[in-house]
Structure 1
């Protein structure tokens, strides 16, 4: 496959995934009236997948820094598979859930009372300051991951190394911040 084809494929996949996430987050495609019983467990599964990916990414970096390309490659393939499972689970959750969860919404009514706003104070600002770059970088890292994998699997080491200098820290931030976001929002889930 030519680089031109790969770039087009990565662009199509990236745009498709971003559009699906936007459509589901805006509830433009209604999910079922009653979500399946497993739905409340999906956010925790997503956090576990993200946390595992964080550990695998750091471990992969360790192995490549010690010259073990074989283990590095296996760890990254595993991370890619787990991140793909995360994406499927994330999309499924947002399809199945018909309402959003607001940080600080103790009643689950979708409206923050004055007492709730006062009680959470700067924590909501902190939550949003983590969530916002998490969302932006999660969208941006997808093409970087796909292209990095392409170069790595083809053993185009110089191209791979050059791109991974950007991909690795962004992907690691996204996986770690995904866990933090889950830990901060999970007390406000009302399933």
Structure 2
């Protein structure tokens, strides 16, 4: 398959997923399974797991960048696939948690409260923006358009790293207020 054809083939999927995932998360975030008559237990054990997965994603991203800078292409590819897999696993757990467990309100006040909400807001907004960036970056590598891949990866990497790290920070800041 020609490289341009690979990009064209995946462009519609990039657009669909970039719209569908944030909308689905927003809708599912508001849906509680109990409200739909589904008898499910809360899943309070998930936040530390998916926060850890965010941390692992951050480490994978850093190691993957170092690998490609050292010419270890196959290692870079494998690490990036693992980072994408971790992000997908995070997403599934995040949705499952919020569909089964009551929301936790942040209990801090003053500067810490403003800091928390700033980090949370930037985390959420960039987690939406990172979806098409990751997908485009991946597809450009798949199409072997490495000049374009490298160019967008320079934008994707720091934003994805920020999202992964702030996911951990948000968890650490709100975890004292979980009540289970």
- Match for 2:32 among 10, 30, 33? 30
Match of 2:88 among 76, 84, 88: 84
**What is the distance in 1 between the residues matched to 2:179 and 2:144?**
47
Aligned to 1:120, the other structure's residue is in SS state coil
Given candidates 81, 100, 104, the residue that maps to 1:101 is: 104
Instruction: Please say if residues 22 and 128 of structure 2, whose CA atoms lie closer than 8 Å, have aligned partners that are also in contact.
Output: yes
Matching residue of 1:147: 136
Q: Could you tell which deviates more after superposition, 169-178 or 88-97?
A: 88-97
Q: TM-score, normalised by structure 2?
A: 0.90
Q: Can you give the 5+ residue segments of structure 2 that lack an aligned partner in the other structure?
A: none
Question: Displaced runs of 4+ in structure 1, greater than 2 A?
Answer: 1-5, 32-37
The equivalent residue for 1:21 is 25
More helix by percentage? 2
C-alpha RMSD of matched pairs (Å): 1.6
Question: CA offsets, 1:11-32, max 9 Å, x none?
Answer: 111111111111123x2x3313
Gaps of 5+ in 1: 105-118
Q: Which has the higher contact order (CA 8 A, sep 6+)?
A: 2
